[in-house]
Structure 1
Amino acid sequence: MVKPKRVGIYVRISKDRKGQELGIQRQEKACRELCERLGWSVLKVYPENDTSASTTAKKQRPMYTQMLRDAREGLIDGIVVYSIDRLTRRIAELTSFLEAQKEHGFQFATTEGEDTATANGRMVLTIKGAVAQQETERMSERINSSLRQRREKGKPHAGGPRVFGFEPGSNFQRVVPEEVELIRLGYRMLMDRQTTGDVARAWNAAGSRTVGDTAWSIQKVKRVYRSERIGGIVTYRGDSVGDSIYPHPLTREEWENVQTVLDSRSTPARKGSGKRKHLYSGFLKCGHCGSVMSVQWATIQGRTFRRTFCNSSQVGAVGQLGCGKVNRSYAWIEERLNELVEAALRRRKPTPPAASDEDFSDAINVLEERIRNLRRRWKEGALDDEDYFDSLSHLRSELDSLRASESAAVVRQSRTEKDALAVWQDDDMTNLERRRAIVSSVIREVSVYSVGRGRRKPPELDSIKVTPIGDEPQGPTG
């Protein structure tokens, strides 16, 4: 048998709490010594530190996937691992690996001497893989049983970030009385038909801050009351299994009352509501506090128009809520900024765009073809469901990433288009993102100031202050 000249070494350790990678270093040393004895040349090492390969593991193994891809494409012609349980603890994954070895002809060896060249050797390897899978499943069963017993005794999981109302570092066993009092105040307000916005304003007025040391907003108040820990409810894998034996701000019944109130007031977002609808949204900032201003349609006294305003329920640039002092008609601001951008584009000398080396079409075509081949093999019964869906998920993730990069390249190209003015003058909604990209090449930000109420004449030009690209943005003014 021809000795492989381009060997890949795969090393993996499940837990590396100190982050020193000592386990994979020892594995690599043993694998290199084996390659030296066999006369195999090492080309690349594929390290997977602090990564599980069990049947319950949710974390992806990118280096394992990369190694198999390199083997299929002929970049490496041999694979060496310390032991079979370092390669995988899933019998289905091991079977898929052996099928790939048989199909693509790369050699395989472990420091424990497993042989895949014969039927008996492959049988022994499969038995070892089954034993490794059984070990992880039995360990998982013991851990899950222990965790469930702990939950049923009213001892919640102690991990995760601090929740408002509980003392830092107490593992949710001790509460902060001042915060509990605010939570109970908010509960009474909600039961009295007040809103979460009212609760946020009350907590801010009391000088309270979130666990992240920012001002309270509607969403952050909702997040507190949505936490099951607030009601002392102990869950296991999403199911309620009991009540906490430790103090908690609300009773289970009070927590469920809050959920009813919050659910009755929530409305599902419209399809596509997260997309930008206004050309300058995100560029406009409050001239008083520096918060990013909102843009929306409004109807007042039968007149429908677009307005931009400083949102007093939105956290601003320095962790404070917006001041709410600025409320302006958006149309006048848009017209002035359109004139500025068009004037800047007309002053530009048209230059042909540089040849882009960001061509993702070939890579996208390759991934699409691999997905089609994968689907074909699965339909023919050559792949198990688990292996098929794992591989499909990984390929689709790569494909989505490439398509996102391709879209980003289109946007970047619009900033240097030969005829950017023609792109700019196409004000169709489907062209909005390209026009916004052109805006970002001209304008850094726009500070908007209040013009008072009841004004009949057009606002002064200095009621907005434009910071062009190349200038440092102005800080918030008082």
Structure 2
Amino acid sequence: MGKPIKPGAYERISQDTEGLALGVTRQREDLEALATQLGWDSPTHYVENDTSASKGKRRPVFESLKADFEAGEIDGILVYNFDRLTRRLDELVPFVKWVERTGCPVATCEGDDLLTANGRMVAHIKGAVAEQEARRISERTSRALLARARNGAKPSGRPPYGYDADMQIVPEEADRIRAWVKHILAGGSLGQLVRSLNAEGVPTPRGGRTWWPATVRSILRSPALTGQLDHTYRDPETGAKRTERFKGNWDPIITLAQHEALNAALSSNPGHGQHKPRKFLLSGLLTCGLCGASMYGATYNGGWMYRCRPQWGGCGRIGRSGPTVDALITLAVLTLFEEHQAKHGPIGSGGQPSQHDADAAIAETEARIERLRAGYATGHVDDADFFPTLRELRATLNTTKRKARTAEQDKARREAQARFTAADWNAASLEEKRSIVRAMLAQIVIKRSSPGRFDPHSIAFKGHGAKHFVTFDVVGPLPFRPGHETRVTFAKAA
């Protein structure tokens, strides 16, 4: 094969954070000079800027270079050195075999020749050295990043929502996050938050106009909100990936206990905010008087009702008009609510446990676990002490976190309920109303009744701490109608 008259020059650099392509430009100059030195024509340039050759990812320009040779578009390859082609021996070996099979002339600035046996041997040696160097660079980089994380350095990349580039709290965003946390812990949904954000025109973290539940979920799950950082790295001894959480050098927006409770609330419903908004006030809060299963709302013939549904474990034998049941239970709830406020004050105004103690207990237990691991690693703690103590500390940590989650959820609900008044009922969201229903009533039972006219005595409810069920005495039409008087009183259920 003669001298190439239309060679291709492959130019690559792993990282170009500033987007200036200076490394590629320097390679181009050297390869133009090499083509002149070899007496080859000026090459066609194949550029892969800001692309790694040590991670095994597909490089379309490199593949195009080989395809163009086989198609006759080029008749030789120029490359600065084999590092530019690949830093993986398992990629270099197939390339060398491809050169041997196709007879493609390959010239480097280091004088390599892949068309001779000695040249291919040298290429394999250089490839092995380049792969080892790539691994050493990766290990050094990994250790440096791990050291940064342990020292509490700020997260790399875009700052978390609620913070600026220096990890200083942005007050407006932080207040919004705290309100979101209270909303979720009080029983609200991500869907409600998203609809409110979109209606108010609040910009997304990237300056967009449309919020999604997944966006809010990602923000709320971030450990950065608690002043911590999750760092994932590969263990140099085992090669396994590990994720550790470290304390950062920035102020938290929410407490550890709030974050634990928040993650529990979001994890308990993986579809949180992704499902359709709840339609029926008492779905899941009613109990079938025949089989004891929960009853749920369902539409039928243009209307809707609460039914005991066989597909959800019920007997399927009881159903009641949804609007009428809602109206009667709402009346009962608001009556009990106003009586409670008159006698005891707001329903959420009881004493609230401090979350500072919970955070301190969690941090202390985690610190004890780290001290135990350090002692085991240095040989000061043997197997007989290490494993039982570690199990005990982990059990203590899980119990503390579970209690903190429950306390934080209860606190959020109490705070929301303490602000609530009977006048707020009509404007309240469905989840807020359901929270008040749960706070006032311990159980609502729908009993079997004769077919035909709605029987108010078939609905019985019991408040928290009450000994007896209560039902309704109704004089007037049901459901309630404008212009018609309907009197409702309460009576002890039979």
TM-score of the superposed pair, with normalisation by structure 1: 0.51
SS of 1:23's partner is helix
Does the Cα contact within 8 Å between 1:13 and 1:86 map onto a contact in 2? yes
Mapping of residues 2-17 of structure 1, within 5 Å: 2-17=2-17
| 2:251 counterpart residue number | 247
Match of 2:224 in 1: 229
Maintained 8 Å contact 1:12/1:86: yes
CA 1:154–1:17 in 2, change beyond 3 Å: closer, same or farther?
closer
Q: How many residue pairs get matched?
A: 273
Aligned equivalent of 2:30: 30
- CA 199–27 in structure 1, closer or farther in 2 if over 3 Å, else same: closer
Displacement of 1:198 in angstroms is 4.1
User: Which residue of 1 is the match for residue 117 of structure 2?
Assistant: 119
After TM superposition, give the deviation of residue 213 of structure 1 in Å. 6.0
Q: Which residue of 2 aligns with 1:165?
A: 162
- SS in structure 2 at match of 1:174: coil
In 2 relative to 1, CA 233–302 (structure 1 residues): closer, same or farther, beyond 3 Å?
Answer: farther
Shift of 1:224: 2.2
Query: For residues 375-386 of structure 1, what are the structure 2 equivalents within 5 Å?
Result: none
SS in 2 for 1:259: helix
Deviation at 1:137, TM superposition (A): 1.4
Compared with structure 1, are the counterparts of its residues 236 and 56 closer, same or farther at alpha carbon in structure 2 (3 Å cutoff)? farther
Deviation (angstroms), 1:70: 1.5
2:171 is aligned, of 170, 177, 191, to: 177
Q: Corresponding residue for 1:143?
A: 141
Distance 1:101 1:254 in 2: 61
Q: Does the C-alpha gap of structure 1 residues 121 and 260 become closer, same or farther in structure 2, counting only changes over 3 Å? A: same
Change (3 A) 1:245 1:26: closer
Residue in 1 that maps onto 2:55: 56
Q: Counterpart of 1:232 in structure 2: which amino acid?
A: G
TM-score by length of 2: 0.49
Task: Return the alpha-carbon distance in structure 2 between the equivalents of residues 218 and 38 of structure 1.
Answer: 61
Deviation at 1:148, TM superposition (A): 1.0
CA contact (8 A) 1:156 1:235 kept: no
Q: Is 1:190 aligned to 2:184, yes or no?
A: yes
Report the alpha carbon displacement of residue 118 of structure 1 after superposing the two structures with TM.
2.2
Give the whole-Å Cα distance in 2 for the aligned partners of 1:32 and 1:3: 15
The structure number with the bigger radius of gyration is 2
For 1:218 and 1:13, how far apart are their aligned partners in 2?
A: 38
Structure 1 pair 197/84, CA: closer, same or farther in 2 (3 Å)?
A: closer
Where 1:242 maps in the other structure, the secondary structure is strand
Listed as ranges, the gaps of 5+ residues in structure 2 are 233-241, 276-296, 305-494
Report the secondary structure of 2:230's partner residue.
strand
Provide the C-alpha distance between the structure 2 equivalents of 1:51 and 1:33, rounded to a whole number of angstroms: 24
Distance 1:97 1:187, change over 3 A: same
Q: Give 1:271-290 correspondences, 5 Å limit.
A: none
Q: Separation in 2 of the partners of 1:13 and 1:82? A: 11
What residue is the counterpart of 2:262 in the other structure?
258
CA–CA separation in structure 2 for the residues paired with 1:6 and 1:204: 57
| TM-fit CA distance, 1:29 | 2.9
Distance in 2 between residues matched to 1:247 and 1:8, nearest whole Å: 54
CA gap 1:206/1:106 in 2 versus in 1, 3 angstroms: closer
Among candidates 61, 72, 75, match of residue 73 of structure 2: 75
Aligned-partner Cα distance in 2 for 1:83–1:127: 13
State, as a whole percentage, how many aligned pairs show the same letter. 36
**Unaligned 5+ runs, structure 1:** 274-297, 306-478
Quote the Cα distance in structure 2 between the aligned partners of 1:72 and 1:153. Answer: 53
1:190 corresponds to which letter in structure 2? I
Partner of 1:4: helix, strand, or coil?
Answer: coil
What's the CA shift for 1:43? Answer: 5.1
- The AA in structure 1 aligned to 2:138 is S
SS at match of 2:245: strand
Assess, with a 3 A threshold, how the Cα gap between structure 1 residues 268 and 82 changes in structure 2: closer, same or farther.
same
Structure 1 residues 24 and 219, CA, compared in 2 at 3 Å: closer, same or farther?
Answer: closer
Deviations 1:205-250 (A, max 9, x none): 9986543264755444323213332233311227233232311212
Equivalent residue for 1:44? Answer: 44
Partners of 2:114 and 2:251 in 1: CA distance: 59
Give the structure 2 partner of residue 423 of structure 1. none
Taking the aligned partners of 2:92 and 2:82, their CA distance within structure 1 comes to 9
- Contact 1:78 1:106 (C-alpha < 8 Å) held by counterparts: yes
Q: Which amino acid aligns with 1:22?
A: L
1:258 is matched by which residue type in structure 2? L
Q: Distance in 2 between matches of 1:203 and 1:6?
A: 59
Offset at residue 57 of structure 1 (A): 6.5
SS in 2 for 1:246: coil
| C-alpha contact 1:9 1:45 (8 A) present in aligned 2 | yes
133-142 vs 240-249, greater mean Cα deviation: 240-249
CA distance in 2, matches of 1:153, 1:304: 62
Deviation at 1:40, TM superposition (A): 2.6
Contact 2:99 2:115 in 1 (8 A): no
- After superposition, the Cα gap between the structure-2 partners of 1:176 and 1:206, relative to the gap in structure 1 and judged at 3 Å, is farther
1:340-391: CA deviation from partner (whole Å, max 9, x where unpaired): xxxxxxxxxxxxxxxxxxxxxxxxxxxxxxxxxxxxxxxxxxxxxxxxxxxx
Give the counterpart letter for 1:117 in structure 2. Answer: L
How has the CA–CA distance of structure 1 residues 19 and 120 changed in structure 2, closer, same or farther, with 3 Å as cutoff?
A: same
Decide whether the 8 Å contact of 2:189 with 2:272 is kept in 1. no
Mapping for residues 440-455 of structure 1, pairs under 5 Å: none
Q: Evaluate the alpha carbon distance shift between residue 73 and residue 269 of structure 1 in structure 2; reply closer, same or farther with a 3 A threshold.
A: farther
In 2, Cα distance between equivalents of 1:24 and 1:209: 38
Question: Structure 1, residues 416-438: CA drift from partner, whole Å, max 9, x if none?
Answer: xxxxxxxxxxxxxxxxxxxxxxx
- Partners of 2:210 and 2:24 in 1: how far apart? 45
- For the residue of structure 2 that corresponds to 1:250, the secondary structure is coil
- C-alpha distance in structure 2 between counterparts of 1:213 and 1:47, whole Å: 33
Superposed CA RMSD: 3.3
Deviation of 1:50 after TM superposition, in Å, equals 2.5
Letter paired with 2:64: Q
Distance 1:85 1:216, change over 3 A: closer
Report if the CA contact (8 A) 1:165-1:176 is conserved: yes
- The worse-fitting range, judged by mean Cα deviation, of 174-183 and 87-96 is 174-183
Deviation track 1:414-469 (CA, whole Å, cap 9, x = no partner) reads xxxxxxxxxxxxxxxxxxxxxxxxxxxxxxxxxxxxxxxxxxxxxxxxxxxxxxxx
Question: 1:127 Cα deviation (Å)?
Answer: 1.3
1:145: Cα distance to partner?
A: 0.5
